[in-house]
Structure 1
Amino acid sequence: MQIAIDGPAGSGKSTIAKLVATKLGFIYCDTGAMYRTATVMAQRLGLDYGDEPAIMAALKDLTITFKPAPTGQLVFMNGEDVTLAIREPETTNNVSQVSALPAVRTEMVARQRAIAAESDIVMDGRDIGTTVLPNAEVKIFLVASVAKRAERRYKENVAKGIDTPLATLEQEIKARDEKDSTRAVSPLREAADAHHIDASEMTIDEEVDAILKLVMENRSAARK
């Protein structure tokens, strides 16, 4: 079974997707972390974030792996733990440029589909329901107000020791929304058959329960 959760930056997709996957015993794939890892790679190599040929050449030797941990999922780049590095402001503010490169998206989509083909999965991102897993049984488009998203990101950053003012985060999220929704390849948009969930006033438990209810309804319909 495939569950696709899409939405704008800071909408809580990763947090909710992880919890849903845990509840169902599914594999979780954080596609955003994959693009962030590619961005960290470009940064470490001193590559221009828009230099598609150079980034693609480097991607050939890049391995991205995920490992569970008591504190959450860890992300590794060629064996190096980059879980915190991919959340640094430098990465956050430039990942949209890297993820907009057509060849990079083609490569990552292929990797994501390969992961999804192996088992039941919950995958979150911005184009999962429209591009990566267009036949997913359950599609969610998760949104929240800019203020709410900035507040969530601020708390996450504080917990990780990243000090970015709340007002700055709001501006960064607005800019990220603009970049993601207007890029030429696989822009952020809601799939026609997605369930729209506005989580601005919902608790995490309420969001998870709403998605699990949709999964159960899908399973019941499939048995009939």
Structure 2
Amino acid sequence: MHSSLPARTGTVRRKTHETDIDVAVDLDGTGAYRIETGIGFLDHMIEQFSRHSLIDVKLRVDGDLHVDQHHTVEDSAIALGEAISQALGEKRGITRYGHAYSPMDETLARVSLDISGRPYLVWRAGFSQPRLGEMDTELFEHWFHSVAQAAGITLHIELLYGQNNHHIVEAIYKGFARAMRSAVEIDPRKGDAVPSTKGMLGTGTLEV
């Protein structure tokens, strides 16, 4: 933890008729995690995000999986994004931008992001099978869209090439993790300045 800055942690409780979620994050962690979404493959991917971003994540979801996976996937991403946004606070001193090329065997993914306060997702990736484990592959794009919206991130995800569906999604999550690790890092040259000429960065606003 940087002594000149407050603790960069966030906790969110989200309870609806469809899901009951508790999440806690520490941006200055070591990549420790405890993930329980009820969807094994999603647990594995969020664990990869935590480990490679060094953001500690505790996430518990009790969702209506007897209906389908949509609400659990969407709401877990919203809650995680909200916790990250809370932990970032005014975003003082952060690097703000991050990018990563993420190879996994025959697959290469590229992730670029800006903690801008302007949530946006560009998704240029696809899968050749409808499920991985028990998870619907169409929901991965939705997960990233929900995280970007809740955290206020401009997020570009591209599959440059790849064939194995497991490798594709894991490369994307690891690339997202490495890009986030760079973006949330404190830049010692910035002190506690907000990285914007407007002097503020807030979710849903139009700062540059």
Question: Do Structure 1 and Structure 2 share a fold, with TM-score over 0.5?
Answer: no
Give the TM-score normalised by structure 2: 0.31
More helix by share: 1
Which structure has more RCO (C-alpha within 8 Å, separation ≥ 6)? 1
More strand by share: 2
